[in-house]
């Protein structure tokens, strides 16, 4: 009889909380955030999918916390001794079981949306199925905490404050960076970040750092147990063995949660250090096999990521195809940079290193920057530019190989001239107008004719001693005044641009930093010519 009563009460509390308007709004908003942040243009692996689930978990988890707070507050205020044939301990157990179930269920919609079941794009990588339990675990822990807070602080002032403050904070954060500071904003941010860190301490799981999953799930289970223990302590209104047992168990759970949190932090640091050291071990996650495919260039990645190869090839193969055959053997291998931290921190993923062109870990198939980055690495390697060409170290400006590299970079673009303009706009230096004008003249000539000219005069064109003025004759193009005018306009749109003919060797920008009142000085040095 008692078991049936507990089950019936659990069902009742479950449906009550599940119909709570605050929970429904929070779940709906979390689903909307998940949907609006989704794009089929980004190539995804399972680690990134799990990260996306976790990133959007706080919205539904906050709703679960509030939905569980109200019945916890009700139990603390009124109880139900005369209405139900159950002890306070059993009533609270039914309430906690229902809250944990509702919290876990509330995270299902965002998890389903994160997996993008409607998309035909293949998700790369290997999934640890246990990782899918992390978002529901976040919701369950939040709901258990909601019951505990309701039991200890039954006033509705807290949920009213949260319901009022969070939307205002989100609106202020989303609308304007220039708005004046909102009173209490720092406190709200601090509370939000503490809650985030408590529920999600592991950092990123992408591309497949599954070794931290057991620790994360254990941590969430301990947090939920702490919430249940605190609620049970408050439910026992007399000093009794049951209350002492609840206190002891809660202290044990709290100690375990703190210990697990410390262990996860150390594990995350160890995993990152291992990856940045260029290693991938079983302690990080399942070690994937490397696979390669060769067209004009060789493309290497990891097993289950083969669906990404055609995207890289659409960016790199047109560049390689435009080059003389005798040059292609020396072109770099295109290699996935998702694993093993091959590139040094602080450098772009597309940089060349030891004859390898690394792809960015996050690639948007409809973004020109991704295609341009890989094409740039192939083009710079082809013309003999230094690996990891840094603008402050040296420049190709004024050399015949510079317009050749610019022409190569935009091969394969849907709109070559627009692609060139976008590429130049991101330069830290203002390129030579003559270089850009020569590249524009090349774009007006048939690709086949340019490739034939490259094959005839390649060695002279890529010689650092050959000036850009010689490039027109070697490539069979004439740089007209309209090319120079268009090039001057295009080259002047760089974010940070040197003035041509200036006397200073350096350009200094001084800008006030609003929060500190100090000035930020950025110095860009005019680079020397590459040799």
In SS3 terms, 391-443 reads as: CCCEECCCECHHHHHHHHHCCCCCCHHHHHHHHHHCCCCCCCHHHHHHHHHHH
Q: Using alpha carbons only, what angle is made at residue 297 by residues 296 and 303, rounded to the nearest 5 degrees?
A: 125
Taking a C-beta distance cutoff of 8 angstroms, is the pair 314, 371 a contact? yes
DSSP bridge pairs for 291: 301
pLDDT value at position 462?
92
Cβ count within 10 A of residue 41: 12
- Does the model's pTM come out above 0.85? no
Instruction: Quote the distance between the C-alpha of residue 516 and its chain's center.
Output: 28
Three state DSSP letters for 52-121 = HHHHCHHHHHHHHHHHHHHHHHHHHHCCCCCCCCCCHHHHHHHHHHHHHHHHHHHCHHHHHHHCCCCCCC
Cα 42 from Cα 363, distance rounded (Å): 6
CA dist., res. 268 & res. 274, Å (int): 10
Q: What are phi and psi of 519, to 5 degrees?
A: -110, 140
Contact (Cβ atoms closer than 8 angstroms) between residue 333 and residue 356: yes
- 333 backbone dihedrals φ, ψ, rounded to 5°: -80, 140
- Rounded Cα gap, residues 234 and 231, in angstroms: 5
Q: Helix, strand or coil for residue 324?
A: coil
519: part of which helix (H) or strand (E)?
A: strand 519-525
Tell me if the bond preceding 207 is cis, omega within 30° of 0.
yes
Residues 6+ apart with CB under 8 A from 465: none
Query: 């070690």: which residue's tokens?
Result: 287
What pLDDT is attached to residue 510? 34
Residue 61: predicted pLDDT? 92
pLDDT of residue 511: 35
Q: What is the DSSP letter of 128?
A: -
Q: Which pLDDT score, from 0 to 100, does residue 226 have?
A: 94
Q: Cα dist. 109→27, 67, 156, 455 in Å?
A: 8, 17, 28, 57
**Judging by beta carbons within 10 Å of its beta carbon (0-12, 13-18, 19+), is residue 149 exposed, middle or buried?**
buried
- DSSP letter assigned to residue 332: P
Q: Which two tokens stand for residue 221?
A: 């289970």
- Helix, strand, coil % (nearest 5) of the chain? 60, 10, 35
pLDDT along the chain (531 residues), means of 10: 83 93 92 80 82 88 93 80 68 92 94 83 85 94 93 83 67 51 56 65 76 90 93 80 87 92 84 70 75 91 86 92 92 75 39 77 74 88 75 77 93 90 78 90 92 94 92 91 88 52 36 40 60 77
Q: Cα dihedral sign for 405, 409, 414, 417?
A: negative
Q: State the pLDDT at residue 521.
A: 44
- Encoded tokens for 268: 């995350």
> Which pLDDT score is estimated for 338?
54
- 239 by Cβ neighbours in 10 Å (0-12 / 13-18 / 19+) ranks as exposed
The closest of 394, 395, 469 to 437, measured between CA atoms, is 469
**CA-CA-CA-CA torsion sign (376, 377, 378, 383):** positive
Spatial distance between the Cα atoms of 451 and 131, rounded to a whole number of angstroms: 51
**Residue 461's pLDDT is what?**
93
């Amino acid at each position: 009889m008692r078991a049936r009563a507990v089950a019936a009460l659990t069902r009742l509390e479950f449906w009550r909380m599940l119909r709570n308007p605050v929970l429904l709004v929070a779940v709906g908003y979390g689903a909307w955030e998940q949907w609006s942040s989704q794009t089929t243009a980004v190539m995804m692996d399972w680690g990134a999918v799990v990260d996306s689930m976790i990133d959007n978990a706080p919205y539904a988890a906050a709703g679960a916390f509030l939905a569980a707070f109200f019945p916890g507050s009700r139990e603390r205020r009124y109880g139900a001794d005369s209405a139900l044939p159950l002890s306070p301990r059993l009533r609270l157990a039914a309430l906690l079981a229902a809250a944990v179930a509702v919290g876990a269920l509330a995270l299902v919609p965002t998890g389903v949306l994160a997996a993008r079941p409607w998309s035909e794009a293949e998700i790369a990588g290997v999934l640890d199925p246990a990782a899918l339990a992390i978002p529901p675990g976040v919701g369950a822990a939040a709901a258990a905490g909601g019951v505990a807070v309701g039991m200890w602080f039954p006033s509705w002032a807290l949920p009213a404050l949260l319901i009022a403050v969070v939307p205002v904070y989100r609106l202020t954060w989303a609308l304007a960076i220039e708005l004046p500071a909102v009173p209490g904003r720092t406190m709200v941010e601090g509370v939000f970040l503490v809650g985030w860190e408590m529920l999600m301490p592991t950092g990123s799981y992408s591309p497949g750092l599954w070794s931290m999953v057991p620790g994360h799930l254990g941590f969430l289970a301990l947090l939920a147990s702490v919430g249940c223990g605190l609620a049970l302590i408050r439910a026992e209104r007399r000093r009794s063995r049951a209350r002492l047992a609840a206190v002891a168990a809660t202290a044990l759970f709290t100690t375990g949660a703190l210990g697990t949190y410390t262990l996860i932090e150390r594990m995350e640091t160890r995993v990152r250090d291992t990856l940045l050291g260029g290693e991938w071990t079983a302690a990080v996650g399942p070690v994937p096999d490397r696979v390669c495919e060769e067209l004009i260039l060789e493309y290497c990645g990891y097993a289950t990521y083969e669906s990404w190869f055609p995207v890289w090839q659409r960016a790199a193969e047109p560049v390689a195809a435009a080059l003389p055959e005798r040059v292609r053997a020396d072109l770099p291998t295109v290699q996935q940079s998702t694993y093993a931290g091959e590139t040094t921190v602080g450098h772009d993923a597309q940089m060349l290193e030891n004859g390898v062109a690394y792809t960015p870990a996050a690639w948007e198939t409809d973004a020109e920057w991704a295609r341009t980055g890989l094409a740039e690495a192939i083009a710079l390697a082809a013309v003999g530019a230094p690996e990891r060409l840094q603008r402050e170290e040296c420049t190709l400006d004024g050399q015949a190989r510079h317009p050749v590299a610019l022409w190569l970079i935009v091969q394969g673009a849907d709109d070559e001239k627009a692609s060139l303009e976008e590429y130049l706009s991101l330069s830290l230096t203002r390129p030579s107008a003559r270089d850009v004008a020569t590249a524009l003249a090349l774009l007006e000539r048939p690709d086949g004719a340019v490739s034939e000219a490259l094959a005839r005069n390649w060695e002279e064109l890529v010689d650092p001693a050959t000036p850009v003025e010689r490039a027109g004759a070697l490539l069979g193009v004439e740089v007209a005044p309209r090319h120079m005018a268009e090039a001057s306009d295009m080259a002047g749109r760089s974010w940070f641009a040197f003035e041509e003919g200036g006397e200073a060797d350096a350009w200094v920008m001084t800008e006030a930093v609003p929060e500190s009142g100090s000035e930020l000085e950025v110095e860009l040095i005019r680079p020397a010519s590459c040799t």
